[in-house]
Amino acid sequence: MTQLFCDIRFRRNNGFAIEARFEVGAGVTALFGPSGSGKTTLLHLLAGLLRPDRGVIHLDGRTFADDKKGVFLAPETRNLGVVFQDLLLFPHLSVRKNLNFGVGRRGARSIDFRRLVDLLDLGDLLERLPGTLSGGQQQRVALGRALLRGPGLLLLDEPLASLDAELKNRILDYLERALAEWRIPTLFVSHDWADVRLLAQEVLVIEKGKSTGDVPSRVVKQ
């Protein structure tokens, strides 16, 4: 049973502050909140791209961060799959090389390449460069790249934002198929309640704090 436990505080130099204490189980959990509330910051803290000032993060009994013990695992050792809001496909590598970038890392589970390519309809795109793909195709490649990593937890940053209704439904369909196939616990952030209702089994709400940091953004369980 996957369990993410997070109890952290983080403050940026500009005064923005966030406090988060929550647990996430298996299945799909949404982190819902308005723009500027710190959703992406929280995702980056979980991924190891930012270091919390205080607190602990555990996933399945593994400590990712613990300020008291001086533990902070680098992003590459956390075995997470991250789909960034801007996708961040490597522009100089073909789709095939993008997909395979995270394959075969230590501690990762194995995901069948052919099965994934079939499931996300990427077969015809493998030799192309990301810059030649449509937005929806790029989204599928980014999702496939994160899945092929064989992650213990999938983190999605606004996976459906900036997509029109038709494309959103198609990406959602792909996402649901992939998550059903590999049962990877997923945490996704969104500012759109409709997206949250479509995808999430559990919801965490992040309440926006004051930009001065006197009142930090806080995560509350729905």
The pairing of strands 153-157 and 80-83 is: parallel
Q: Which string of x and - marks every residue 132-161 that binds other proteins (by CB under 8 A)? A: -------------xx--x------------
Task: Choose, by CB under 8 A, the member of 91, 110, 165, 166 that binds other proteins.
Answer: 91
* Helices (runs of H) and strands (runs of E) counted in the chain: 6, 11
Spatial distance between the Cα atoms of 137 and 143, rounded to a whole number of angstroms: 10
Least Cβ distance, residue 153 to other proteins (angstroms) = 11
- The verdict on 86 binding other proteins (CB under 8 A) reads yes
Question: By three-state DSSP, how is residue 94 classified?
Answer: coil
Residues in CB range of 26: below 8 A, 6 or more apart: 1, 2, 183, 185
Among 5-13, 29-37, 92-100, 160-168, which window interacts with other proteins (CB under 8 A)? Answer: 92-100
CB of 157 to other proteins, least distance (A): 11
Two tokens, residue 195: 């997206």
Q: Which of 9, 94, 113, 167 binds other proteins (CB under 8 A)?
A: 94
Helix residue spans in 82-220 (DSSP H): 95-100, 113-119, 135-148, 165-182, 193-199
Give me the residues that bind other proteins (CB under 8 A), please. Answer: 47-49, 74-76, 78-82, 84, 86, 88, 90-97, 101-102, 105-106, 108, 126-129, 145-146, 149
